[in-house]
Structure 1
Amino acid sequence: MMRNKVQLITYADRITGQGISALSNLLDGPLKGVFGGVHLLPFYNPIDGSDAGFDPIDHSAVDERIGTWQDIHGLGESYDLMADLIVNHVSAQSFQFKDVLQQGEESAYWDLFLTKEDVFPNGMSDVEQAAIYRPRPGSCFTPITCGNGKTYEFWTTFTDNQIDINVKSATGIEYLDNVLAKFSENNVNIIRLDAAGYAIKEAGTNCFMLDQTFDYLDKLSAQANQLGMETIAEIHSHYQTQVEVAKRVNMVYDFALPPLILHSLFTNNSDALVKWLNISPRNCLTVLDTHDGIGIIDAGPMGDKPGLLNAAQIDNLVETIHANSNNQSRQATGAAASNVDLYQVNCTYYNALGANDLDYLVARAIQFFAPGVPQVYYGGLFACENDMELLAKSNVGRDINRPYLDADIIAQSLTKSVVQGLLKLIAMRNTHSAFNGEFSVTGSENCCSLKWQQAKQGIELKVNFARREALIIEHNDNEQILTSISDLLN
């Protein structure tokens, strides 16, 4: 069972400049006792593909430049360890797809990959194609000519270097089974089901989060549970979808929380945040920032479904992020950079808040008091700012928030008052027993209160957005201990 303590999200190489053993040394050294778990972002071969490891050439191999399965096993002995099961696709550079390129339908791996004909054997109409939900502009099919001279339209939900897996085929099932077994053998106890919402495609649908997808998630989750692992569904969608998905897997991400906190800080109004926290899944992981951008779709309307925020509020949210970041986020988002996403803004959370230390700690305090197990991204841990140099070099929008750090940068960052304040908040979240109790939230307009209670132990966060006042109140028997978030910066 996952520990109810703050977890770190990180790449092994980008946080240390080295690899998994160096990460272990960091966690056992300068960050000793800070985290209860680690989400180790793709460590597969290669870590430096076109999507920073989310396009694995060999999903079952650790990139030898950063370590071995033995290093993974060792890290999992000390911490809850999460790894990504990339359910939807595999790299076009994989040996399996290269074999398909040579032999076409005669390849032993032909059934591993999904083609248009697999889903639309009788052809696809323009209406059917227009109905398909895709996170990026353009067609979800890539025509590729194989060695037999035939051209096939392979399904590529994300990029033409990420070929979708046919998860219904025997070869597709075997492929994912092998990865799950490898995880189980090496102390990985939490599986993040990456892009799982796109795994099942059916003709005549939008091919996203179908009833069949829920069934598939049920089976995949049960399979992982039998191997001693919990599953986390990674899905960006309408907030009601998250509530439904939460009933089918061990845990989901609360992706609505990050934009709602920003909205509250930008407008001094907590109504949407309070509404969400009253209905949000309790079996969730909470984040503010991740290796991806700041999700927007999760709080907004979708089709004829109203959102937690309306279209005008979403527009204001995005434009305020751009303004706070001096338009750096605009350079990294949408058509301005490759790896285009329709549902997120690429920016550090710290810069989205205008690099305001108090606002940043208030945002983290709300995250830590919200229901769920909190995760802190390595860039957010050290209050990193937008990496415009890396963005200019790669022209990959999400690289703005995927910096390369080293021991000197970390040592310097640990002296910053905002980082020290964050570490104090993490320690409080990890150690106060009330966070294992019952949660309640109240508030309206510019104020809100988030409270946890277990027996006689209680802890409460009161925020007045208009006054920028945030207090943590600890109730221990008849005693009260007050901590102002602003005092954590001193």
Structure 2
Amino acid sequence: MKNKIQLITYIDRLGCKSITELNSLFKNELKGLFGGLHILPFYYPIDGEDAGFDPIDHNLIDPRLGDWNDLKELSEEVDIMADLIVNHVSAKSIQFQDYLQKGEKSEYASLFLKYNTVFPNGATEADLLSIYRPRPNLPFTMVKLNDGSVKLIWTTFTSNQIDIDVNNKIGIKYLESILDTFEKGGVKMIRLDAAGYAIKKPGTSCFMIDETYEFISQLTKKAKAKGIEVLVEIHSYYKTQIEIAKRVDYVYDFALPVLVLDTLFNKNASSLKKWLEVSPKNALTVLDTHDGIGIVDVAGEGEKPGLIEGAILSKIVDQMHINSGGNSLKATGAAASNLDLYQVNCTYFDALGRDENAYLIARAIQFFVPGIPQVYYVGLFAGENDMELLEKTNVGRDINRHYFTKNEIKEQLNRPLINDLKELMLLRNNHLAFNGDFNLIETSKNVLNIKWVNNNHIAELFIDLTSMKMETKFSS
């Protein structure tokens, strides 16, 4: 992966109707701003119940967007990352529909994870209560087959997302077929979506257990054999992220978004500095994504302390809700059909109270800490919460999934704030200092000073949190 900023976006929400139009956008309006492109699910269909993360056919690009030849052409312009959805398929998939019709006689019967697959001798109350849940209730859905029998199917996320048995030979073949398709389509990197939930074992949390690490390692080897790098997406206790980073090419720095908010809200960089001393350096750094702002990534786990004290973390969450005028409350927790227990749904710009100076400082911190920066398409334009879309869909995460028009993009790219952001992005992409050594300069808690040194190439960030003044220096 190039040491340059990546864009993460949906095709149809960035003013584009097709992969071809996205290619044109990269060659023109966005030229030079990004060294990589993470395209959020573009498989058939892109408009399912979970915005493409419930594919009916993972090997088929939604025909409304184009085909694999179009993606191959785009890959010649920019390095492409795609999602490998390892945990589940759509209930509308050909495979699951065949299982509904034929039951255990279906050639796909063993592809799907059932209650008795994991608990052949039944489960105790303790077994069920120990299962780690990203959403309320137990991870099972009652399904009626064509012969009238009822099965309890494992559904970690929604009843439309049917968990697969990744250790079964059919499950293994299914995932390998997607890797083959990606290789032919010019995909240079994959993100393993929901990989932490892929392995279920009685008597465990069924989340990031030892067998999960082994599964991730084996799948990573298969991808790398095809020249494809691997990014693992895990929202979890921060030490879990550190452990995963040892086994794959890249992990997300999901702790950074809240640590930056903590730094700016409380005028105190202490927690951020402590994290930077131990954080994985093979990370993709983010402030915002297509999901919410993760809280679990900085929180404690049981008696184990997190990166931010619980009382301070609660105040940070409250401040986000205040800064957004209460709109984030309408999209978070039990509101708006939102089932993500550990995230706040809000654009990062609104989380900062639409303070342009604070937003530019936040991006500068992201660009200067170790890792490959990834910028979400809404964040590229310092986007505001889309309350109209939220009201229309009643899906919490849609507050930060605006559909931009071509005219909106032209207007946004001419904003003074966005011009300042673009200038900072070009420096991050092209200055040789960022290929050198990272130095966290020892300062007081209300000052953040970062310096990159590569021989005579130097890039330095100095932030006085008390006055909220930032200075950047670049020399060669």
Instruction: Name the SS for the 1:55 alignment partner.
Output: coil
Aligned pairs for 1:276-287 within 5 A:
276-287=275-286
Alignment pair present for 1:469 and 2:465? no
Instruction: Name the SS for the 1:366 alignment partner.
Output: helix
Percent identity between matched residues is 53
Preserved CA contact (<8 Å) 2:23 2:77? no
Match for 1:302: what amino acid?
Answer: E
d(CA) in 2 for partners of 1:413, 1:166: 45
Preserved CA contact (<8 Å) 2:16 2:22? no
Match for 1:297: what amino acid?
Answer: V
Q: Give 1:11 deviation, angstroms.
A: 0.6
Instruction: Name the SS for the 1:142 alignment partner.
Output: strand
Match for 1:361: what amino acid?
Answer: L
Match of 1:457 in 2: 457
d(CA) in 1 for partners of 2:165, 2:421: 43
Preserved CA contact (<8 Å) 2:258 2:294? yes
d(CA) in 2 for partners of 1:417, 1:305: 44
Preserved CA contact (<8 Å) 2:331 2:338? no
Preserved CA contact (<8 Å) 1:239 1:307? yes
Structure 1 residues 156 and 444: CA distance shift in structure 2, 3 A: farther
Match of 1:488 in 2: none
d(CA) in 1 for partners of 2:226, 2:36: 19
d(CA) in 2 for partners of 1:444, 1:225: 43
Match of 2:3 in 1: 4
Structure 1 residue ranges without an equivalent (≥5): 477-490
Deviations 1:184-242 (A, max 9, x none): 11110001000101111110000000111111111111110000000000000011111
Match of 1:62 in 2: 61
Q: Give 1:339 deviation, angstroms.
A: 3.7
Match of 2:193 in 1: 194
d(CA) in 2 for partners of 1:314, 1:91: 36
d(CA) in 2 for partners of 1:328, 1:34: 31
Instruction: Name the SS for the 1:413 alignment partner.
Output: helix
Alignment pair present for 1:348 and 2:347? yes
Match of 1:45 in 2: 44
Preserved CA contact (<8 Å) 1:260 1:273? yes
Q: More displaced, 353-362 or 445-454? A: 445-454
Instruction: Name the SS for the 2:203 alignment partner.
Output: coil
Alignment pair present for 1:448 and 2:448? yes
Preserved CA contact (<8 Å) 1:278 1:440? no
Instruction: Name the SS for the 2:13 alignment partner.
Output: helix
Instruction: Name the SS for the 1:466 alignment partner.
Output: coil
Match of 2:129 in 1: 130
Q: Give 1:17 deviation, angstroms.
A: 4.1
d(CA) in 2 for partners of 1:167, 1:446: 48
Match of 1:395 in 2: 394
d(CA) in 1 for partners of 2:152, 2:31: 50
Aligned pairs for 1:302-321 within 5 A:
302-321=301-320
Instruction: Name the SS for the 2:12 alignment partner.
Output: helix
Match of 1:119 in 2: 118
Q: More displaced, 202-211 or 456-465? A: 456-465
Deviations 1:129-180 (A, max 9, x none): 0000010011111111111221111111111110111000011111111101
Instruction: Name the SS for the 1:452 alignment partner.
Output: strand
Deviations 1:303-361 (A, max 9, x none): 22210012111111111100000011000011011141011100000100001100000
Match for 1:137: what amino acid?
Answer: P
Match for 1:449: what amino acid?
Answer: N
Q: Give 1:474 deviation, angstroms.
A: 2.3
Match of 1:225 in 2: 224
d(CA) in 2 for partners of 1:306, 1:139: 27
Instruction: Name the SS for the 2:219 alignment partner.
Output: helix
Q: Give 1:475 deviation, angstroms.
A: 4.0
Preserved CA contact (<8 Å) 1:300 1:309? yes
Q: Give 1:58 deviation, angstroms.
A: 0.4
Aligned pairs for 1:135-214 within 5 A:
135-214=134-213
Q: Give 1:440 deviation, angstroms.
A: 1.8
Preserved CA contact (<8 Å) 1:274 1:444? no
Match of 2:371 in 1: 372
Q: Give 1:102 deviation, angstroms.
A: 1.2
Match for 1:305: what amino acid?
Answer: K
d(CA) in 2 for partners of 1:444, 1:61: 54
Structure 1 residues 423 and 109: CA distance shift in structure 2, 3 A: same
Match of 2:382 in 1: 383
Q: TM-score, structure 2 length as denominator?
A: 0.99
Match for 1:259: what amino acid?
Answer: V
d(CA) in 2 for partners of 1:26, 1:143: 45
Structure 2 residue ranges without an equivalent (≥5): none
Match of 1:483 in 2: none
Match of 1:271 in 2: 270
Instruction: Name the SS for the 2:172 alignment partner.
Output: helix
d(CA) in 1 for partners of 2:68, 2:338: 30
Match of 1:262 in 2: 261
Match of 1:431 in 2: 430
d(CA) in 2 for partners of 1:437, 1:17: 37
Q: Give 1:297 deviation, angstroms.
A: 0.7
d(CA) in 2 for partners of 1:240, 1:55: 29
Instruction: Name the SS for the 2:263 alignment partner.
Output: helix
Preserved CA contact (<8 Å) 2:98 2:108? yes
Q: More displaced, 244-253 or 448-457? A: 448-457
Match for 1:462: what amino acid?
Answer: F
Deviations 1:231-257 (A, max 9, x none): 000000011111000000011000000
Preserved CA contact (<8 Å) 2:140 2:154? yes
Match for 2:372: what amino acid?
Answer: V
d(CA) in 1 for partners of 2:430, 2:371: 15
Q: Give 1:112 deviation, angstroms.
A: 1.0
Instruction: Name the SS for the 2:103 alignment partner.
Output: helix
d(CA) in 1 for partners of 2:331, 2:102: 39
Preserved CA contact (<8 Å) 1:87 1:176? yes
d(CA) in 1 for partners of 2:204, 2:336: 30
d(CA) in 1 for partners of 2:73, 2:423: 27
Aligned pairs for 1:291-302 within 5 A:
291-302=290-301
Aligned pairs for 1:91-102 within 5 A:
91-102=90-101
Match for 2:386: what amino acid?
Answer: D
d(CA) in 1 for partners of 2:77, 2:177: 24
Preserved CA contact (<8 Å) 1:6 1:375? yes
Q: More displaced, 454-463 or 48-57? A: 454-463
Q: More displaced, 425-434 or 304-313? A: 304-313
Deviations 1:110-131 (A, max 9, x none): 1111011111110011111000
Q: More displaced, 106-115 or 226-235? A: 106-115
Q: Give 1:418 deviation, angstroms.
A: 1.1
Preserved CA contact (<8 Å) 1:325 1:351? yes
Aligned pairs for 1:9-28 within 5 A:
9-28=8-27
Deviations 1:282-307 (A, max 9, x none): 00101111111111110111122210
Deviating beyond 6 angstroms after TM superposition, the runs of 4 or more aligned structure 1 residues are none
d(CA) in 2 for partners of 1:359, 1:22: 33
d(CA) in 2 for partners of 1:257, 1:40: 22
